[in-house]
A and B are shown apart, each in its own frame.
Chain A
Amino acid sequence: MIKDQDYLKKIADICLSKSKKLGSTDASILVQSSISENINVRNKKLDGSERSENLGVVLTTYLGKKKSSIASSNLKESNLNELVDRCIETMKITPEDEYNSLPDKDLHFSGLKDLDLYDETHLSNEDKINYIKEAEDEAFSNNKIVNTNGSGFGENKSNFLLANSNGFSDGYKTSQFTAYCEVVSKSNGSMERDYEYTSKRFYNDILKPKELGSIAADHAVKKLNPKKIKSEKISLIFDKRISKNFLSIFASAISSSAIAKGTTFLKDKLNQKVFNTEININDRGDIKKANGSRYFDSEGIGIINLDLIKNGILQDYLIDTYNGKKINRKSNGRASGTTNLYFENGSKTFSELIKSEKKLLYIKETIGHGTNIINGDYSVGASGIMIENGEFSYPVSEITIAGNLNNIFQNITLADDLEFNYSTNSPTMHVEGMIVGGK
Chain B
Amino acid sequence: MTSLLKNSELSIEKADKIVSETLNSCDDGELYVEDTKSETIVLDDNKIKSSNYTSDLGYGFRAVTGDTVAYSHSNEISEKSLKNSSDNLKSTLKNNSGTYNSEIKKTNQKLYKDIDPIESKSMKSKIELLNNMNEYARSKDSSVKQVTASLLAEKKNIEIIRSGGELLSDNRPLVRINMSVMVEKNGRKETGVYGIGGRQDYDEYLKNDNWKKVCDEAFRIANTNIESKPSPAGEMKVVLGPGWPAILIHEAVGHGLEGDFNRKKTSAFHDLVGKKVASKGVTIIDDGTIDNRRGSLNIDDEGTPTERTVLIEDGILKNFMQDRLNARLMNTKSTGNGRRESYKHVVMPRMRNTIMLGGTNTQEEMIKSVDKGIFAVSFGGGQVDITSGKFVFNCTEAYEIINGKVGAPIKGATLIGDGPSSLKEILMVGNDMMLDPGIGTCGKAGQGVPVGVGQPSLLINNMTVGGTQL
Tell me which residues from 313 to 369 in chain B have a Cβ below 8 Å from any Cβ of chain A: 344, 346
Which one of B127, B235, B388 has the highest number of Cβ atoms from chain A below 10 Å of its Cβ? Answer: B388
In the complex, what residues of B have CB within 8 A of residue A403's CB?
A: 468
Q: Which residue in B44, B55, B72 is a CB contact (below 8 Å) of A261?
A: B44
Residue of B nearest to A71 (CB): B54
Q: Mark B34-67, 1 if CB is under 8 A from A, else 0.
A: 0000000000110111111111111000000001
**In the assembled complex, B411 has its CB within 8 A of some CB on chain A:** yes
User: With A50-B71, A374-B182, A402-B414 given, is the CB distance from A437 to B264 under 8 Å?
Assistant: no
What are the residues of chain A within 8 A of B55 when measuring CB–CB? 70-74, 79, 83
Q: Once the chains bind, are B394 and A370 in contact (CB under 8 Å)?
A: yes
Task: List which A401-439 residues lie within 8 A (CB) of chain B.
Answer: 401-404, 435-439
**Residue contact B414 to A370, C-beta cutoff 8 Å:** yes
B3 at the interface (CB under 8 A from A): no
- B190 contacts across to A, CB distance below 8 A: 374-375
In the complex, which residue of chain B has the Cβ closest to the Cβ of A436? Answer: B233
- From B150-158, B197-205, B375-383, B400-408, the one touching the partner chain is B375-383
Q: Looking across the interface, which residue of chain B has its beta carbon closest to that of A400? A: B466
User: Interface size on B (CB < 8 Å)?
Assistant: 78
Contacts of B411 in A (CB 8 A): 377
- Consensus secondary structure, chain B interface: strand
Taking a contact as CB atoms closer than 8 A, the residue among A68, A191, A398, A402 that contacts B467 in the complex is: A402
How many A residues have CB within 8 A of the partner chain? 77
Chain B contacts with A in 55-107, Cβ cutoff 8 A: 55-58, 67-76, 81, 85, 88, 91-92
The smallest beta-carbon distance between B71 and chain A, in angstroms, is 5
Contact A368 B47 (CB under 8 A): no
Q: Tell me if A51 and B88 are in contact (CB < 8 A).
A: yes
B266 is contacted by which of A90, A147, A435 (Cβ under 8 Å)? A147
The answer to whether the Cβ of A86 comes within 8 Å of any Cβ in the partner chain is yes
Q: Is B194 an interface residue (CB 8 A)?
A: no
C-alpha gap A309/B243 in the complex (Å)? 44
Stretch touching chain B among A91-99, A170-178, A289-297: A91-99
Q: Are B92 and A383 in contact (CB under 8 A)?
A: no
Residue with the greatest number of chain A CB neighbours at <10 A, chosen from B266, B417, B470: B266
Q: Mark A118-151, 1 if CB is under 8 A from B, else 0.
A: 0000000100000000000000000000010100
Q: A95-B127, A367-B383, A368-B414 are in contact. Are A231 and B468 (CB under 8 A)?
A: no
CA distance A263 to B183 in the complex (A): 10
In the complex, the answer to whether B92 meets A46 with C-beta atoms within 8 Å is yes
Q: Kindly identify, within residues 375 to 391 of chain A, every residue whose CB is under 8 Å from any CB belonging to chain B.
A: 375, 377-381, 383
| Residue among A51, A191, A367, A400 making CB contact with B233, cutoff 8 Å | A400
The contact sample of 20 A-B pairs, CB cut-off 8 A, is A46-B92, A69-B50, A70-B52, A70-B54, A74-B75, A95-B48, A192-B387, A192-B388, A223-B388, A232-B470, A262-B184, A368-B383, A370-B380, A379-B414, A380-B466, A399-B466, A400-B233, A400-B466, A437-B233, A437-B416
Q: Which residues of B contact A (CB under 8 A)?
A: 44-45, 47-58, 67-76, 81, 85, 88, 91-92, 123-124, 127, 145-146, 182, 184, 188-191, 231, 233-235, 264-266, 268, 344, 346, 380-388, 390-394, 411-414, 416-418, 464-470
The 10 closest A-B pairs by CB, nearest first: A400-B466, A381-B392, A437-B233, A368-B392, A437-B466, A48-B69, A193-B387, A377-B412, A53-B74, A73-B75
Name A residues whose Cβ lies closer than 8 Å to a Cβ of B.
42, 45-56, 67-75, 79, 83, 86-87, 89-90, 93-95, 97, 99, 125, 147, 149, 184, 191-193, 223, 228, 231-233, 260-263, 265, 326, 367-370, 372, 374-375, 377-381, 383, 397-404, 435-439
